[in-house]
Structure 1
Amino acid sequence: MDYSKFLDDSFDAKEWVNAAFRNHKDTAVSKDQYATTLVMKLQMFIQEVNNILEEASQQALQNLPRVMREIDAVRQEASLLQDQMRMVKEDIQKVEQSTAQSMQVLLKLDGIKGRMKTTAEALKEADNWTTLSADVEEVFHSNDIQAITDKLTGMQQSLQMLVDTPDYADRCQHLEKLKNRLEAILSPQLIAAFNTQSLESAKMYTKMFDNIERLPQLYKYYHKCHKGKLLENWRDIVDSKQDETTIEWLTELYDLLLSTWHSQINWCSQVFKDPVPIVCDLISESLTSLDPPILTCISGLISTRGDTLSTLTELKKITERFATNLETTVESHMTEHSASLEKLLLSIYAPYRSYLPKYSTFQEVVLIQDLDNIKMDHEEVMDTVQLLSETVNKLFSAANKANTRCQKLTNGFCYVGLLDAYKTYFLCYCREFRRVLINIREKCGINQGSEGEDWSNFQHSLRLIQTCGDLILHAEELDQEVVSSILHSVGRHIGSPNRHCLQFQASLFIDNKDDIETLEIMISKLEEGDTPSKLTDIKSEMCKLCEEVHKFGFEIVFAQLKKYLSNISNMEIWTSKRAEGALTSDLPSFSLSPQEYITKIGQYLMTIPQHLEPFMLHDNPTLTTALKYGKLPYIDDQDLPEHLADLWLESVAKGTMHIYCEEILKIINLSPHATKQLITDIEYLLNVLDDLGLQPTDNISNINILLQATTEDFTDKAETMPQRLTHAISAMRHIEL
């Protein structure tokens, strides 16, 4: 039976009883008997608990007096301890008051003792310096290198204690002369040790130079020995392989330098404490001392080939492979001394920095050559239009190649120069496009006029507009590509530590700090979402070109209309006396027919949609883009309509109405019959426009109203209209205002 449940705070008597009966498995004992037994057990358990409680209470009562006595004893001891602590505190205060002056004296005496000890050591070292100086000549005569080193080391230590002596500078100078004598004695043996790569000798001399604080001079001897070998090997490469080019020479040189790095880093690791910067400086000094210099070899190769950019790109690929291999190897051996690696990288890329200030010019030369190879003109207009259409892909293919060249040669750090070259390149193209456009205009004979309707020229102009749209679309793609390339190749260095930072990486290719700052500013603007100004200028120029081509297309389609509209003001019907008379003047307007000139205009306008249809049947992003950035005459700035043909129709119709209005206003005299005829002509034009879904302009509507107005109503209707119209119409109709 589980009695532990009685200890639970959430004890439930019913649940306990039910659990007890559930656990009853003996079927021979009835539940009543089991209940009786359970009650007896509980009563016995209660009795047992009562006994335990009674015993515990009795024991507690018996122990209580003893506990009280012990508490009183502890209280008395605590009070006694408190009194003793107070007495000790008073004693300490008395001692401090009585011995304060004595402690000050002791402190002064201790300071005096320290100074006396320092003085004694200084005197000892001064005496030691005197002794060592007196014996140094004898030691030098003995030619015992180790003894000389020990003697100079001792003098060096003594000199450190004599800093404040009046003749300290003279002593330093004397010691330096002695070190120079020792170095002169050791130099032949040191050079021999470095040439033969003798570890034991090199370690011994390194320790000696370290003791006399001349390790930098030791490193110079090391560099001199191995640099001489490398320069000799380079001369052998150039002299023995005259039939090969700088490409092969550089490849072999870089292999030699990489091999030297591996061999020397292993040897120097056993001799010097920090071998990496020593070997890095060896490679750097060797690269800057080559004879002939790498720059001279590169210049010779460029002179032979005549292609600066491709030659530099090919050579830089070899150089970059060497630099990457060397940088990876160096990083595995070093945790600091990044300055040595930076110096090495600057030496490796030094030949290219001499060319890159003219990078923009080099790119311009290549791009202009590519542009010269693009044929844009032909004797036939149709072939010329086709050639211009084909120039777009060629034009931007060359631009994309220039972008790739920039990344390969300069790792993207000369994008400022590339953008300058882009601007020159595309402006030259636009200038050439305009020249061809002038030739096309002359061949189409727009200004001379042509007999009949020739829609082929209009088709050509639409294709030219498509070409302009294609130019702008490609320019936007190039814009995105260039920005992405700049941010990917250069922008990733912003915020990077040490040699991976933008300033250092840029300094590998750019010497001018102002150019680096310009590059940083450009990248910051790109990250904010701005477009480089050069690309904006290019796109702006293409938009101007697009507008000029739109104007050219409009002139073509409008040339015939302009011909129909010419000399309307001088037509004989407006002043003819034959049409006057009671019979003709009383004829209603609907009995008159529109004249031939206006019917030709109407028929011409009705045929325009069918000539636009081949270009407008399907979505034409190039035409849409061209209309977005170009502008048709007589069209205000507005959103593009769903059907581009509507925009052309609106432009031509507005142009027609504008010229028509101007011709009407030139009419000097208008008889009543002529007025009705003119109204008939205008109404015909308005009906044609309505059939085309176009609205008349305010001027043509106002002229129509003024022509239809009676003499009595003319003044009232003229009040709300422009004075130029009202005065002209009133004059030709002989109505006084």
Structure 2
Amino acid sequence: MDIKTFAEPDFDPKKWINRAWSSSGNQEKEVFVTNTVSRLQLYMKQLTNSLDETTTQILTSIPRVLQDASSLQLEGALLQQKLLSLEQKVQDVEEQTGNSIESLQRIDHLKSRLENAASALREADKWAALATALEEVLEAGVPTQNDKLIELAGQVAAMTASLEVLSEAPDYESKRLQLEALYNRLEAAISPPLIDALTQMDAERTAVYMSVFAGMCRAVSVCRCWRRAAAHRLLAAWRRLAPSAPSAPSAPSAPPAPPALARLLAADAPQQVEWLTNVLKVETPVGELLRLYTDVLLSLEPSPTQVVSANLKLCSTPDEGIIILTDLRREIDEFIACMRGIVDAPRQNKEVVVAATARELGRAAYAPLRELLPRYSEMQAALLRQHLDDKQLQDTENLVEHSRAILTVAERCEGWLETAFSKAKKIAGIAIYPYYVPAIENFISAITTMIFAHCRRIETAFLSTVSAGETAGVLSNTFPASLVLESAVAVLLDTLAARQKIELEEEEPKDEHQLSDLPSLVLEPDSRQQLATLRSQPQSSAELWRAKEQLRTLARAILRNPIDVLLDEIPQLAAWNNNDALSTDLPDFSLSPQEYITKIGQYLMTLPHHLEMHLSEKQAPWQFLSEVCIHTCDKYAEKVLNIRNMDALGTKRCLTDIVYLSSVVEDLGTNVTPSLKNLEKSLRAAAPTNE
């Protein structure tokens, strides 16, 4: 039996009895209770005996524990007395030895000052001897033998160390100035032979001279000399490669300067990095190389820009000039790729190149392209304008053929602009936009000017026809000429919108590397800020929309001209008044439409056939017909309202004409306008009825 259950805080006798009874099986209650009570009594007796024994043991051990505690307390008191006695002795010793220690400290400090004074005197003597020796070397001339240079390097290092020892001397500043003057003379003397060793890439001689500069703590001067030597060597190589003047067509072609320069620098770069790392022991070899190439690119004479510009002058066509600029971009990209490979190459103690240093090299490398991009804008505009030198565009006599020639140009613009954009991206990517957009606008402006000029010719021909008393209409050559020209403008607008959408979707992969961020390397800050606007805004569409609207108005004026001429006669017709009484009594069915309205009806009925001949599906012939019918109804109502003194018979005749016109309009699939319906209602209300 587990008696732990009885010790639980939530023990419930009833639950325990029920659980014990459920596990008793078929045993009788009295027997089960008797057995359980007996067992519990036995456990209680055992627990009581165990408690008695434990109590007896505790009572027996308490006196012994108390005796041990008293002994420990006595020993603690004795230990405390000993500690107090020891503390007193220590204080007495400190008081007795304090003065002696202070005396020793003063003696030691005095000894140190005496030793420093003696050392300073010795260093002063040594300094004087070294300064005299260095002065003699400078007077006699700096030696060029390696062993003597090594000895000079040791002497210089000793003078530098000696000056540091004399930092507390009263005449330290004068000695420092004297040493600086000696070092300046020494640097001026050994810089030329050091530059010569650097130019010849003589590692042994360079190392000896470097030890002299290191002794002077002027290692930076070695980098300056290296930069001068390397720049001189590269500039000399450039002068041998670059032609001083453009080659004549008949002369043997000189090597192209920009490609030769790119190959020269790309081949020189790894060697220079190795030299800076292993010979000059420079901590930032890549940064030094980038600064060197930046200085070289900015100091070239003749500059790459001048060379490429001279080649551009020899181009017979703008297309050749664009090819030269494309090749220039490719050559610069190859050089930049080489530089990126050096910058990103894995090496020990990976150097972090300063972003400004890399950006300066990039701008120097792309300087020829940046300076010649305005020339691209001129060449691209000239290349596009060449497409307008078409013989058909020179024919201004035949209005329709000239309009068709302009339509052909508009339809071919998509291919021309696509080609121009693909070439432009090869030159400068999205950075070309500040120069590409003006070229396109120049081309569109030239087409727009041509469209407006032809529009004025069509309008002049139309007005001349009207002034001569003739009618224009759908059969006039001015109508198809204006329609075809309007179609050309629509095609051009659609092409510009489609090209803008395509160009916006052609995003270049973003490369934020300092050497490949073309917009920042090629464009000035103001141009970079306008880049997004130039890409998103429509190109020269405002004037084209104005031309389209003007041509639309002109075409409809020409189409409505015969109707307008006939409608202008309505107020002056004699049929509206002065009719005799007998005629007034005639029944309505005896009246027929008058001649003017039948001519209008005939013209309207012939329009669908003629419009289909001149209009395309995009121009919607039914829309033209609907507009003409609406115009006719409204204009007819307006003219009728201007009739004065209309008599009863005139009213009947007018109603007959209105019914005829309404039937023609409805046969053409157009509804009669409200103004004409209201006029008809008014006239019927005023007309007399035949009884």
TM-score range, shorter chain: 0.7 to 0.9
Higher alpha-carbon deviation: 464-473 or 152-161: 152-161
Cα distance in 1 for partners of 2:477, 2:367 equals: 60
Q: Which of 422, 427, 443 is equivalent to 1:404?
A: 422
Q: Does 1:678 align with 2:654?
A: yes
Check whether the contact 1:294–1:351 (CA below 8 A) recurs between aligned residues: yes
Check whether the contact 1:385–1:464 (CA below 8 A) recurs between aligned residues: yes
Q: Does 1:266 align with 2:274?
A: yes
Deviations along 1:68-90, one digit per CA (max 9) or x if unpaired, are: 969x969x99xx99xx9xx99xx
Q: Does 1:321 align with 2:330?
A: no
Q: How does 1:386-397 map to 2 (within 5 A)?
A: 386-397=404-415
Deviations along 1:340-399, one digit per CA (max 9) or x if unpaired, are: 333322222222333235554444333333444595454545543432332124323333
Query: Which residue in the other structure is 1:427 paired with?
Result: 445
Check whether the contact 1:364–1:424 (CA below 8 A) recurs between aligned residues: yes
Query: Which residue in the other structure is 1:254 paired with?
Result: 262
Q: Describe the SS at the equivalent of 2:646.
A: coil
Query: Which residue in the other structure is 1:138 paired with?
Result: 133
Check whether the contact 2:287–2:353 (CA below 8 A) recurs between aligned residues: no
Check whether the contact 2:242–2:256 (CA below 8 A) recurs between aligned residues: no
Cα distance in 2 for partners of 1:296, 1:50 equals: 121
What TM-score do the two structures reach when normalised by structure 1? 0.69
Query: Which residue in the other structure is 2:352 paired with?
Result: 335
Cα distance in 2 for partners of 1:116, 1:397 equals: 96
Decide whether aligned partners of structure 1 residues 610 and 203 sit closer, same or farther in structure 2, where only a CA change above 3 A counts.
Answer: same
Cα distance in 1 for partners of 2:571, 2:113 equals: 121
Decide whether aligned partners of structure 1 residues 281 and 710 sit closer, same or farther in structure 2, where only a CA change above 3 A counts.
Answer: closer
Check whether the contact 2:235–2:300 (CA below 8 A) recurs between aligned residues: yes
Q: Which of 536, 551, 557 is equivalent to 1:531?
A: 536
* 1:239 CA drift (Å): 6.1
Decide whether aligned partners of structure 1 residues 664 and 148 sit closer, same or farther in structure 2, where only a CA change above 3 A counts.
Answer: same
Gaps of at least 5 residues in structure 2 are 1-14, 28-34, 138-142
Decide whether aligned partners of structure 1 residues 251 and 150 sit closer, same or farther in structure 2, where only a CA change above 3 A counts.
Answer: same
Query: Which residue in the other structure is 2:3 paired with?
Result: none
Decide whether aligned partners of structure 1 residues 228 and 394 sit closer, same or farther in structure 2, where only a CA change above 3 A counts.
Answer: same
Higher alpha-carbon deviation: 148-157 or 162-171: 162-171
Cα distance in 1 for partners of 2:513, 2:368 equals: 25
Q: Does 1:288 align with 2:290?
A: no
Decide whether aligned partners of structure 1 residues 396 and 165 sit closer, same or farther in structure 2, where only a CA change above 3 A counts.
Answer: farther
Check whether the contact 2:257–2:307 (CA below 8 A) recurs between aligned residues: no
Check whether the contact 2:195–2:225 (CA below 8 A) recurs between aligned residues: yes
Decide whether aligned partners of structure 1 residues 416 and 118 sit closer, same or farther in structure 2, where only a CA change above 3 A counts.
Answer: farther
Cα distance in 1 for partners of 2:422, 2:110 equals: 74
* 1:261 CA drift (Å): 1.0
Query: Which residue in the other structure is 2:558 paired with?
Result: 556
Decide whether aligned partners of structure 1 residues 152 and 316 sit closer, same or farther in structure 2, where only a CA change above 3 A counts.
Answer: same
Cα distance in 1 for partners of 2:581, 2:633 equals: 32
Q: How does 1:318-397 map to 2 (within 5 A)?
A: 318-332=331-345, 334-357=351-374, 360-372=377-389, 376=393, 378=395, 380-397=398-415
Decide whether aligned partners of structure 1 residues 48 and 615 sit closer, same or farther in structure 2, where only a CA change above 3 A counts.
Answer: farther
Cα distance in 2 for partners of 1:516, 1:607 equals: 63
Check whether the contact 2:448–2:544 (CA below 8 A) recurs between aligned residues: yes
Cα distance in 1 for partners of 2:388, 2:375 equals: 20
Q: Does 1:541 align with 2:517?
A: no
Cα distance in 2 for partners of 1:397, 1:126 equals: 91
Cα distance in 2 for partners of 1:279, 1:358 equals: 32
Decide whether aligned partners of structure 1 residues 711 and 163 sit closer, same or farther in structure 2, where only a CA change above 3 A counts.
Answer: farther
Query: Which residue in the other structure is 1:594 paired with?
Result: 593
Deviations along 1:512-537, one digit per CA (max 9) or x if unpaired, are: xxx423422542x68xxx932xx26x
Q: How does 1:357-506 map to 2 (within 5 A)?
A: 357=374, 360-372=377-389, 376=393, 378=395, 380-440=398-458, 447=466, 449-450=470-471, 454=475, 461-485=482-506, 488=508, 492=510, 496=512, 505-506=518-519
Check whether the contact 2:241–2:255 (CA below 8 A) recurs between aligned residues: no
Cα distance in 2 for partners of 1:474, 1:56 equals: 110
Check whether the contact 1:246–1:297 (CA below 8 A) recurs between aligned residues: no
Cα distance in 1 for partners of 2:151, 2:272 equals: 31
Q: Which of 645, 652, 670 is equivalent to 1:693?
A: 670
* 1:206 CA drift (Å): 2.6
* 1:588 CA drift (Å): 4.0
Cα distance in 1 for partners of 2:628, 2:113 equals: 107
Deviations along 1:133-184, one digit per CA (max 9) or x if unpaired, are: 4531224536643454344445445656888999777555432321123224
Decide whether aligned partners of structure 1 residues 540 and 453 sit closer, same or farther in structure 2, where only a CA change above 3 A counts.
Answer: closer
Cα distance in 2 for partners of 1:356, 1:50 equals: 114
Cα distance in 1 for partners of 2:367, 2:555 equals: 54
Query: Which residue in the other structure is 1:234 paired with?
Result: 238
Cα distance in 2 for partners of 1:606, 1:411 equals: 57
Amino-acid identity (%): 23
Q: Which of 202, 212, 216 is equivalent to 2:216?
A: 212
Gaps of at least 5 residues in structure 1 are 1-11, 21-31, 33-39, 624-643, 713-737
Give the partner amino acid of 1:509.
Answer: V
* 1:429 CA drift (Å): 1.0
Query: Which residue in the other structure is 1:569 paired with?
Result: 571
Check whether the contact 1:598–1:681 (CA below 8 A) recurs between aligned residues: yes
Check whether the contact 1:446–1:555 (CA below 8 A) recurs between aligned residues: no
Decide whether aligned partners of structure 1 residues 126 and 658 sit closer, same or farther in structure 2, where only a CA change above 3 A counts.
Answer: farther
* 1:322 CA drift (Å): 1.8
Check whether the contact 2:160–2:216 (CA below 8 A) recurs between aligned residues: yes
Decide whether aligned partners of structure 1 residues 596 and 208 sit closer, same or farther in structure 2, where only a CA change above 3 A counts.
Answer: same
Deviations along 1:541-582, one digit per CA (max 9) or x if unpaired, are: 22212212212321232123223323222223234x4xx222
Cα distance in 1 for partners of 2:373, 2:63 equals: 99
Decide whether aligned partners of structure 1 residues 582 and 119 sit closer, same or farther in structure 2, where only a CA change above 3 A counts.
Answer: farther
Decide whether aligned partners of structure 1 residues 557 and 239 sit closer, same or farther in structure 2, where only a CA change above 3 A counts.
Answer: closer
Query: Which residue in the other structure is 2:633 paired with?
Result: 657
Q: CA RMSD in A?
A: 5.4
Higher alpha-carbon deviation: 425-434 or 151-160: 151-160
Give the partner amino acid of 2:323.
Answer: S
Q: Describe the SS at the equivalent of 1:670.
A: coil
Cα distance in 1 for partners of 2:54, 2:680 equals: 131
Higher alpha-carbon deviation: 170-179 or 254-263: 170-179
Q: How does 1:70-109 map to 2 (within 5 A)?
A: none
Check whether the contact 1:376–1:387 (CA below 8 A) recurs between aligned residues: yes
Check whether the contact 1:140–1:148 (CA below 8 A) recurs between aligned residues: no
What TM-score do the two structures reach when normalised by structure 2? 0.73
Query: Which residue in the other structure is 2:314 paired with?
Result: 304
Give the partner amino acid of 1:388.
Answer: I
Decide whether aligned partners of structure 1 residues 198 and 557 sit closer, same or farther in structure 2, where only a CA change above 3 A counts.
Answer: same
Give the partner amino acid of 1:234.
Answer: W
Decide whether aligned partners of structure 1 residues 498 and 381 sit closer, same or farther in structure 2, where only a CA change above 3 A counts.
Answer: closer
Query: Which residue in the other structure is 1:632 paired with?
Result: none
Q: Describe the SS at the equivalent of 2:314.
A: helix
Check whether the contact 1:689–1:696 (CA below 8 A) recurs between aligned residues: no
Give the partner amino acid of 2:564.
Answer: K
Check whether the contact 2:410–2:488 (CA below 8 A) recurs between aligned residues: yes
Q: Does 1:279 align with 2:289?
A: yes
